[in-house]
Every structure is written in structure tokens, then in C-alpha cells.
Structure 1
Amino acid sequence: MTSGDVVFVPTETVHLRHWQRRRIGMVFPLQVVRDTGDAVVLWAPAGTQGWHFDMPDGRRMTETPLPEWSASERVPVPHTIDHGVLSWHPRGRDYSIRWFFRPDGRFYRWYANLEAPSVSWRGDGMAGLDTSDWDLDVVIEPDRSWAWKDEDEFVARLAMPESYWVDEEDRVRRAGKEVIELVEAAAFPFDGTWCDFRPDPDWPAISRDLPAGWDRSIDV
């Protein structure tokens, strides 16, 4: 297994994994558009299937007390997106930026996911990008108006540090403010770049199967 310095190949499938301490909260497959070394751009069309990991009795995170959630083994539950997503992951940054597209190809929103710097890896025929989702996000409309997302949940979970995987509130908020400054300056990636993105129609379809090895650990 190799990690950290992996360069992804265009059209290969990369599995984005969100870790919550030592457990996985999400696995989602995307295709590589390009890897420039300092960032990777990924794509998934409407209809792509990923997996959320919920309680065995069907409860989701929002329906489960956080101490129970963090202490419990969870099971994969299929989840299909109804929009296209282009996802830019700058290496070493505390966020990724997503472009959302309607099924007819029209861009309709940016989404700033605040998260730990991603770690890329490849091994045994599988490639992945790992991060820890920090829950607090920023939603940006095409006119560059913006709003924090999930702030109430973020604050409530910070009050349970023994169960939460986020322990640096100031760092998370700094990442969000960095994004907001870019938005308000209409600077990349909020300058219109990729808002007209169209995938190559000859790209292979993304598998709908949860791959063997989805839960493998890596040496970060």
C-alpha cells in the first residue's frame, strides 16, 4: 500500500472516504479528471451510488446520540446522488470545493466541504482519497451569496470532545473564512472556472458495487 505521494490517472475510479476517528462514515466513488500534483479534480455524474455508514438498526448520525454513534460499529447503506458533482481537492488545504450540476448539465451551486487535508493512496487494484469531514460547511450560490451549513450540529458536537472527531474549532472556522474570502473576491475557484464542465461521454461507467477492501487502513 502506498500513500501520500500517489498521482492519480485520468478516468480511474478513486474512492473518497470520510473517517470519523477509526471508523468510516462514507465511501463515495468518483472518476479522475486530472491530477496536477498540488490538487486532484474528480467527477461523479447524477446516479452515482456511494455508501453512508449507519447504525445496524437503520438510525443515521442525526438520529443517534453522538457517544453511541462513535462507539458503535456501523453498516454500509447505499446512497445515490441526484446531481452531478465536480470535486476539487487541493493537497494540504483544510477544505475541498464541489461544483453541483443538475442532470441536464447546468451548474447550480458550489459547496465548500471543510475537512482535514486529504491523503491519496493506491493498493491492490484500488485507489482512494481519505479525509476527516469536519461537519461545518459553506454553501455558495451562483451569485456568490453564501451561508454556513450545519453550524448548530457542529457546535453541539464540540461539547462532547470524548466522542467527536473534531478538536480544533478555530482551525475549522479559519478554513471556512478562507473560503469566504475567496468567494467575496470572486477568485478561483469561485471565478466561473469549471462551471461549464462537461465529462467526456466515452468515460467508463462507475461501478455501483462497494469494492473489496473498502475498509482497509492506510499508513498516513
Structure 2
Amino acid sequence: MTFLYRYGRDGRTRFARTGRVVADNADGVTLWIAPGSPQIESVLADGRPLRSVSLAERCDLPRIRRETTWRGPGIVQFAPTKGEYSISWFFTDTGEFRGWYINLESQPVRHRLGLDSTDQALDVWVTPDRVPHWKDEDEFAFLTGRPGRWTPAEAAAIRATATELIALATAAEPPFDGRWTTFRPDPAWPVPALSPDWDEPHLS
């Protein structure tokens, strides 16, 4: 089953990735994002990547969206039924587990194409030996309090969620209990196609 995971705000998708459902149960949805899977990404209007400019320019300069593909080895991505985050398992080119990527985001909203969420900038990388590294704290601080983003009180709650997940990871508690770390996709699986309806109004 092909699944569309979209990030956006104000009814508009800013980023979308296409995956294959490998588990869908009471815990949440788990996807395999294969190398070369189609995706939609936002770039500056002149084609430069967003991270090539300052935070202020990144927020204020006009953007366009374009279809690209997932670059690098495939990942497993898990979105819980309840929780304002997703977790991705990263692998090397030869399939060895590289670590967990915790993405703080709004509670995903389920729809006929997949899930919609809104990114909250703050991330955490956890190595296989369970050492956490905060990421994008400068962007998180810069966006806090800006119109359409999160308030300082909400920022504290977002950081608290990340801290709780770090505690689970360091204690090897689910979902950081070894699941998916040895995952190997079926080599017969085709690369999924991007849904022609990917730009339906974003729901998160």
C-alpha cells in the first residue's frame, strides 16, 4: 500500500514523501521510504535549497515546490497514533542501522492519502549506542513566537516531548527497543508512485 506523508500549514503542503506501509496498527503507522521514492520539497524561488540562506531569509523569501526523489539509503518512518512526533530509522548503504531521528511535529491527521502534520523545527538524533544530539535548536528558537508558529509556552511543551523521547531512547524502551533496526525491504517491492492528488488541501 502506497502512503503519502505530508508536512504543511495553512492548508498548503510544503513537503511530502511517498512510502510503503509495513505496519498499521493500534501503535501507529510504519512506512518504508525506499531510495528514489518520489517526494515534493520546497526550495527558494530561484531554486536554491532553503538551508543555503539565513533563518530570516528562509522564512521570508518566496518559495516554490518541486518534485524530487528521496536521496540516500531508505529509511523506516513511524508515526504514532497519539503523539506529536515521528521517528525515523536511518541505515547505511549496506543496510547497517545508523540511528534514530526524532522529528517534533503536530499530531498527524489521517486522511485517504495518508497523514498530514506540521513540522515544529526541533529534532533529535540518537546514535545506535543511544547518545542523543539536539538539532536545529537555532531554527526552533527563531520561529518561536512568530505568527502561525508556536508560542513560548507551546515551545516548552515541544521540548518536553523531545526530552521524554530521549529518556525512552536511553532506556531502550519502545519504540527504541531494537525494533526495525535490522529491517530489510523485500527487493521485489517497486518504487511507489507519487499520487496525482498530492496537492489536495493540507489538513494539519
1:185 equivalent in alignment to 2:174: no
- Indicate the SS of the match to 1:171: helix
Task: Tell me the CA shift for residue 165 of structure 1.
Answer: 2.7
Name the counterpart of 2:188.
Answer: 202
Residue number among 86, 90, 95 corresponding to 1:105 in the alignment: 95
TM-score using structure 2 length = 0.88
Letter of the structure 2 residue corresponding to residue 65 of structure 1: E
Of stretches 133-142 and 168-177 in structure 1, the one that deviates more from structure 2 is 168-177
Partner of 1:148: 134
1:115 corresponds to 2:133: no
Structure 2 residue aligned with 1:4 = none
Structure 2 letter corresponding to 1:55: L
Q: Residue 93 of structure 1: CA displacement?
A: 0.3
Report the aligned-residue RMSD.
2.0
Task: Specify the alignment match of 2:30 in structure 1.
Answer: 41
For 1:75 and 1:45, the matched residues in 2 are separated by 21
Q: Please tell me whether the aligned partners of residues 3 and 19 of structure 2 are also in contact (alpha carbons under 8 angstroms).
A: yes
Moved more, 192-201 or 77-86: 77-86
1:43 touches 1:87 (CA, 8 Å); kept in 2? Answer: yes
Report what 2:57 is aligned to.
65
CA pair 197-177 structure 1, distance change in 2 beyond 3 A: same
Q: Is the 8 A contact 1:45 1:84 kept in 2?
A: yes
Q: What TM-score do the two structures reach when normalised by structure 1?
A: 0.82
Residue 95, structure 1, aligned to residue 114, structure 2: no
Q: What whole-Å deviation, never above 9, does each CA across 1:79-134 have from its counterpart, x for those lacking one?
A: 43201100111012011111011222111111001111111211xxxx22110011
Q: Distance in 2 between matches of 1:61 and 1:20?
A: 17
Please tell me whether residue 19 in structure 1 is matched to residue 11 in structure 2: no
> Measured at CA, do residues 59 and 77 of structure 1 come closer, stay the same or move farther in structure 2, by a change above 3 Å?
farther
Could you tell me how far 1:54 is from its partner in structure 2?
Answer: 1.8
Q: For 1:154, what is the secondary structure of its paired residue?
A: helix
CA distance in 2, matches of 1:76, 1:108: 28
Given that residues 53 and 77 in structure 1 are in contact (C-alpha distance below 8 angstroms), is that contact kept between their aligned partners in structure 2?
no
CA contact (8 A) 2:2 2:192 kept: yes
**Unaligned ranges ≥5, structure 1:** 1-11
Q: Which residue of 1 aligns with 2:21?
A: 32
Deviation sequence 1:140-189 (CA, Å, 0-9, x none):
00000011100011111225x12x53332012101101111101211111
Q: What residue number does 1:213 align with?
A: 197
* Cα deviation digits, residues 36-95 of structure 1 (max 9, x gap): 0330110012232322112322243332625524xx462225243201100111012011
Aligned length: 199
Asked if the contact 1:66/1:157 (under 8 Å) is kept, the reply is no
What is the aligned-residue identity percentage?
35
Please give the alpha-carbon distance, in whole angstroms, between the structure 2 residues aligned to 1:73 and 1:37. Answer: 37
Unaligned runs of 5+ in 2: none
Find 2:123's aligned residue among 120, 137, 140: 137
Corresponding position of 2:150: 166
AA paired with 1:138? Answer: V
**Which of these residues, 29, 35, 42, is aligned with residue 53 of structure 1?**
42
